[in-house]
Amino acid sequence: AQKVTQAQTEISVVEKEDVTLDCVYETRDTTYYLFWYKQPPSGELVFLIRRNSFDEQNEISGRYSWNFQKSTSSFNFTITASQVVDSAVYFCAPVGQGAQKLVFGQGTRLTINP
């Protein structure tokens, strides 16, 4: 079974600041996947990234970057030069290779102030 901890329940920053959202997970699977989703105020979940456990290369997509540290079971998400539209709740979710069920933590509510 998987478990995820997002210790930061709320973060508030001023626009253009960089911000990092932490994600620590637990799993007994040797192969697994890690997801990040964004939930804006409208309520739907928007897929951001899927990472395989055997690929520890960090990833950058525009202002978004992800740092995967298998040794510390962390998969942190950084937004560079934050914008007001980044305001949302962000969820990290692990899933085992054979399973299909995402395990969500409580998420981190990010507020970007103008």
Partner 1 sequence: EADIYQTPRYLVIGTGKKITLECSQTMGHDKMYWYQQDPGMELHLIHYSYGVNSTEKGDLSSESTVSRIRTEHFPLTLESARPSHTSQYLCASSELRQRNIQYFGAGTRLSVL
Q: In the bound complex, what is the minimum distance in angstroms from residue 100's beta carbon to partner 1? A: 6
Candidates 22-30, 33-41, 58-66, 70-78: pick the segment binding partner 1 (CB under 8 A).
33-41
Q: Does 8 bind partner 1 (CB under 8 A)?
A: no
Taking CB under 8 A as the criterion, the residue among 11, 13, 24, 102 binding partner 1 is: 102
25 token code pair: 């997970």
Residue 101 as a binder of partner 1 (CB under 8 A): the answer is yes
- State which of positions 51-90 bind partner 1 (CB under 8 A): 89
Tokens representing residue 3 in the block: 């478990």
By CB under 8 A, is residue 47 in contact with partner 1? yes
Q: Is 104 in the site for partner 1 (CB under 8 A)?
A: yes
What would the DSSP string read from start to end of 52-88?
ETT----EEETTEEEEEEGGGTEEEEEESS--GGG-E
State the virtual CA torsion across 108, 72, 77, 5 in degrees, nearest 10.
Answer: -10
C-alpha distances out from residue 61 to 23, 29, 110, Å: 18, 27, 19
Binding footprint of partner 1 on the chain (CB under 8 A): 33, 35, 37, 42-47, 50, 89, 91, 95, 100-102, 104-107, 109
